[in-house]
Structure 1
């Protein structure tokens, strides 16, 4: 059974879908749990109901309050058939707050400098926003690029992280 909970944030509601183990399987700036469940890989999908997300809620609140490393210890469960994407998601978790990288830089960090499109796809398919910080990856020219939850959210997250 998956548990979901919605928290308030300065840029709107933030919903997490958490496994019984406490690992986040989906997260995003929305109240639409059905939309989030579509992001969970079928091998990780279970029925979901409202519930306490355990350590996830306090970690998100601490992050929003300025402790930008509070979410780093939260486990995530992401699954993909592609080896590069799984590796890229692990690498993405190491991008530090206040130090965004470009898609080109992210491809290099992921060990495949020519795989810029694959790096961008890893960002686009990331089911656990915030915890796997795809918002910290920018276009090569430094502009924001895209973000599933809206560019205003990405912009706020980057400002929040650079201010701390």
Structure 2
């Protein structure tokens, strides 16, 4: 069973989809729960029901927005993909520190494949657990924002929040 909760944040509504184990399977700045669930790997999709509180992940998101920029670091995440690189790249993404965004090329290098800039960008694009797996901390090579599934105003807000912390 998966549980989901929509919470208000300074960056906009944020939805968490959490497994019984407490691991986050999807998260994003949206109220569209079916759309968010569609981002989860089919092998990880289960029946989903709303909940007022989905546990430690929700408390960590609140703490993050209250200024504890490391609150999300220990939240368990479950994502799957068809290849080894993507899973490894998501782990590496979680190691990018708040206030220290990196470029796609540097992210590819950190992920162990410096020439795989497009694969690094794909890891960002296919990330189903926004904020907790911080794809917002990856920028274009020229330092501009690039894309973000939840909109550039949200990405910009998150980066400003983290640089102020």
Shared topology, TM-score over 0.5?
yes
Aligned residues: 164
- What residue in structure 2 maps to residue 82 of structure 1? 83
Task: Flag structure 2 segments of 5+ consecutive residues without an equivalent.
Answer: none
Q: Map residues 61-76 of structure 1 onto 2, 5 A cutoff.
A: 61-76=62-77
Task: For residues 65-91 of structure 1, give each alpha carbon's deviation from its aligned partner in whole angstroms, at most 9, with x where no partner exists.
Answer: 100000111000000011111110000
TM-score by length of 1: 0.99
- What residue in structure 1 maps to residue 35 of structure 2? 35
Task: Flag structure 1 segments of 5+ consecutive residues without an equivalent.
Answer: none
- What residue in structure 1 maps to residue 121 of structure 2? 120
Superposition misfits of 4+ residues, deviation over 6 angstroms: none
CA RMSD, 1 decimal: 0.5
Q: Structure 2: how far apart are the matches of 1:108 and 1:66?
A: 29
User: Secondary structure of 1:77's partner?
Assistant: coil
User: Secondary structure of 1:6's partner?
Assistant: strand
- What residue in structure 1 maps to residue 23 of structure 2? 23
Q: Map residues 92-103 of structure 1 onto 2, 5 A cutoff.
A: 92-103=93-104
Q: Map residues 47-66 of structure 1 onto 2, 5 A cutoff.
A: 47-51=47-51, 52-66=53-67
